Structure 1
């Protein structure tokens, strides 16, 4: 009996189903998965294919390199697809002339509001009695020296209202003072704090955020601003919302302005011709134009802008990988999501960031199917086994999904991957409709990273994939749903008081991020809903008869993102509005949502001559 290896090369992973196939039956021997090497459908995939097939052979009881045990390699037939994600900022806050210091040091000192003239700590003895001042303390002054100098000033009747220090000494200084004053520390650019200027320092009590300096009218009251000056100070107040401590300094030459950034225009080519829309109109307007321009022939970006560069970079990458001319590569879909983008505040002194409106964009390119045949020939030469292109990927996914117990036609499959969300529908007569849409797991990661201000993409992936908890003692944690879990053994000391990820039953990983458990959870869930729930309904409407989702009986979720602990439930809940039976697939009754296409490729060879 011949041995067939169905190999599904995806955007992120390569999956193998290894089986012994007879004329009318199939015996599955093993399944495996490995990371895809290179862009799907290109010659770089060979390394990943070889690795995945070796793992399957080993699981079947053979040598990892014993490729000659396999009689046929059957690859999925699909156009190469490449997705890319970019963040386009709509506005940006520009603050110049050292107008503000606003950040969240982990340990600000004291509490309250202090208004006075900025003065170097070395000049305290020159200050007149009852003249309110805010002391500026460079890192060269130790916390003991600083506390002693301020206490001496108190004893002389000098009115010290607050302090700004360079080192992480806020609490240490506050604990040694004879009076309670607000102290903002960790101000790296202390040398750029202007002296002799009117200043307000605010430190909120634990668990609270600044109130005066996040309100433009309170700032106007403190500094005696006119209506026009109050309008200019709005970006400062907005940047300080949510901070536990803040400083605002009024300088004579200070300038605050909010300017528009030319994010660029999108040009969408559809049946009615080319239409344009500016990125700064937001995601809703962009998606309305995408829907009204369907089916999309191509999408371009305005030359010389960020979005234009993104579009051309995607085309160029695909052209280089497939050896196809740029003219044969077309962007077929786009997903836009409104989000918040952290922007560095120009003129800030403590690495301040302000959250500004932005649009996350995911695009998808489809090219000709020619490279897949080149890949099959290369695999045949590499491992010495006959390789051929099997059925269309959408049909293979449905054949694999139908091995899920309790399913029947008309059945739709939602393949939730890393780069794209794909949908296919098999009607009772066997006819198959399919669609590929931009936006999937990678876009969720991009949104989470942006809104939480993270650069560590491994941490971002973990935040996406695992639930949260708050470590409240060395023996118990409070889960994100409010329930409490106790441990028999004490938790690691570094976890105490932190938000952590529940990686496994017995392993917690702390998140070194100054954000509440509610903030992280809300960002994660919003990103998943905006991408996956949106794309699930978009995709099913495209393949459903008369674009009516209610005419679909069953929807099976497959792919890597279907393993997520909350995405399938979100989609199931949404599709229940249409009376559709939807849920995570269980391929062959044992594999969960993995291996649908690879299994379908094997099943497609049943009943035909292989050798």
Structure 2
């Protein structure tokens, strides 16, 4: 029997399958060198073939290859213009610690000048970073004893509870506040809620209009502020003397050609995310373009391997041929190859390549959580655990387990994801349940939306979708696509040749087409 090598040089990885006729003997993959279609990529693929052959004691007699130019995809984040709030501004919507359970409105006054405040004027005491908790509490107590009406205390330091415990009268205290910004305003509203209650006053546009004496033309600003503060348990809102000059909203420039755009606000809405838990002020988009340079041909691979190489004209046909060796498939199945930059949707007689896949999901995750791309790459993949203590974590199903090695104490309360170096903390702004909801919603919109468009273009009415490629390794993607495509479409993961799993669809499909005499 002839020993074949199916060689698939992709944008990110190169995959090789060695077969005796169509029986799989070995498989392997390696990062693509020099880019898809390059001479370096050919040499790297040839080296992988030789390593596999030597390891299994084989002599490769023929190879199958589909020369294909690379598809370049880029991912970009674009910040959108914030919703205007006129003279109102949200200075703070969450704090490390708070104290009290009330709302107050007053004129901002530095804590060291409280003694000079006129009687009958409601004030918000503001303590800069140089004032420690004991000094702040003493100054506030003295002012209250002298008849000063203090509605709330704001401090730049993380000392709200320490200050509150030393006050003779209960007032709301909020820390981590940008004090100079507050002092530059004319009026301040502060609200803190304890226990299970969210904000009540600052989420009421009528209350805001009343306490800030807003005109009818400013009621929309109050609605916007109230809407943004839902789900918060503390907030500081200021009133400036005049609003910033209105500038025309700049629409993001969209590139020519294929583009996939996802609004972070749409993901947050689909996940019913708490206001402020994730960023919604941006969009992420993926674009795609080809390469005018002709790719290295089958002759180049034949020279590198020293064996005849059968040229297959269509990489998409090879992907479908390989994927269809998965047991249990219906005849009308649509094959979806989910890569890092693109989604390749292949039906019986048509194919479409769309930008926006794993890299776009990473960009959306990084932008929404305000974390690095590398952290987002790990966080997006699977479930997270919550650090209950330095040695106890709880998963998204409520199961708890002890760690063999304690984590850094600063990670307590954070969500952790698996990374090569161990558990990686990536956010403390969300609970595990909230993160699960956002993550699944992102996969439905980012990748599920793309797959849905592709299926509608090339396989409308199909009853089954088969996932292959690197992205198919995401266990949650099957669920996300099934929810997006609906109950009438079966979604599953490929098992190429009944043994290779979801990878190697193109590589094995090349062998299938070559041995069948299909070019």
Q: TM-score range by the shorter chain?
A: 0.7 to 0.9
Aligned pair partner of 1:560 in 461, 470, 475: 470
* 1:299-318 matches, cutoff 5 A: 306-307=253-254, 310-311=255-256
1:122 offset after TM fit, Å? Answer: 1.4
Cα 1:561–1:486 change in 2 (3 A) is: same
1:123 offset after TM fit, Å? Answer: 1.0
Give the equivalent residue in structure 1 for 2:325.
403
Normalising by structure 1, we get a TM-score of 0.72
- Structure 1: which 5+ runs fail to align? 63-68, 264-305, 312-330, 343-351, 427-431
Aligned pair partner of 1:603 in 504, 512, 517: 512
Give the equivalent residue in structure 2 for 1:223.
212
Secondary structure of the residue that 1:31 maps to in structure 2? strand
Aligned pair partner of 2:130 in 112, 120, 140: 140
Q: Deviations over 1:225-275 (max 9, x none)?
A: 221132344444444343332222223234486853223xxxxxxxxxxxx
1:118 offset after TM fit, Å? Answer: 1.1
* Equivalent-residue separation in structure 2 for 1:180 and 1:38 (angstroms): 67
Q: Deviations over 1:514-570 (max 9, x none)?
A: 1233332222112211233333333233333xx4324xxx54211111111111133
* Equivalent-residue separation in structure 1 for 2:281 and 2:115 (angstroms): 47
Secondary structure of the residue that 2:176 maps to in structure 1? coil
Number of residue pairs matched?
509
* Equivalent-residue separation in structure 1 for 2:498 and 2:158 (angstroms): 57
* Higher alpha-carbon deviation: 454-463 or 134-143: 454-463
Aligned pair partner of 1:364 in 288, 291, 310: 288
Give the equivalent residue in structure 2 for 1:326.
none
Give the equivalent residue in structure 2 for 1:83.
73
- 2:278–2:369 Cα contact (<8 Å) kept: no
Aligned pair partner of 1:497 in 404, 413, 416: 413
Give the equivalent residue in structure 2 for 1:424.
346
Bigger share in strand: 1
- 2:81–2:281 Cα contact (<8 Å) kept: yes
1:57 offset after TM fit, Å? Answer: 5.4
* 1:155-554 matches, cutoff 5 A: 155-188=145-178, 190-194=179-183, 197-255=186-244, 260-263=249-252, 306-307=253-254, 310-311=255-256, 331=257, 333-340=258-265, 359-366=283-290, 371-372=294-295, 374=296, 389-407=311-329, 409-426=331-348, 432-450=349-367, 452-472=368-388, 477-480=393-396, 482-487=397-402, 492=407, 493-501=409-417, 508-544=423-459, 547-550=460-463
- Structure 2: which 5+ runs fail to align? 268-275
- The Cα RMSD (Å) is 3.8
Give the equivalent residue in structure 2 for 1:36.
32
Q: Deviations over 1:176-225 (max 9, x none)?
A: 2222222232234x334336832212222255443322332221121222
- 2:96–2:175 Cα contact (<8 Å) kept: no
Q: Deviations over 1:87-123 (max 9, x none)?
A: 4556433568894412322223433212222111111
Is residue 6 of structure 2 the alignment partner of residue 10 of structure 1? no
* 1:23-172 matches, cutoff 5 A: 25-37=21-33, 39-42=35-38, 45=41, 49=45, 52-53=48-49, 56=52, 60=56, 70=60, 74-88=64-78, 91-94=81-84, 99-172=89-162
Secondary structure of the residue that 1:577 maps to in structure 2? coil
1:573 offset after TM fit, Å? Answer: 5.3
* Equivalent-residue separation in structure 2 for 1:476 and 1:449 (angstroms): 26
* Equivalent-residue separation in structure 2 for 1:114 and 1:497 (angstroms): 30
* Equivalent-residue separation in structure 1 for 2:431 and 2:16 (angstroms): 41
* Higher alpha-carbon deviation: 133-142 or 89-98: 89-98
* Higher alpha-carbon deviation: 219-228 or 197-206: 197-206
Give the equivalent residue in structure 1 for 2:270.
none
Normalising by structure 2, we get a TM-score of 0.84
1:575 offset after TM fit, Å? Answer: 5.3
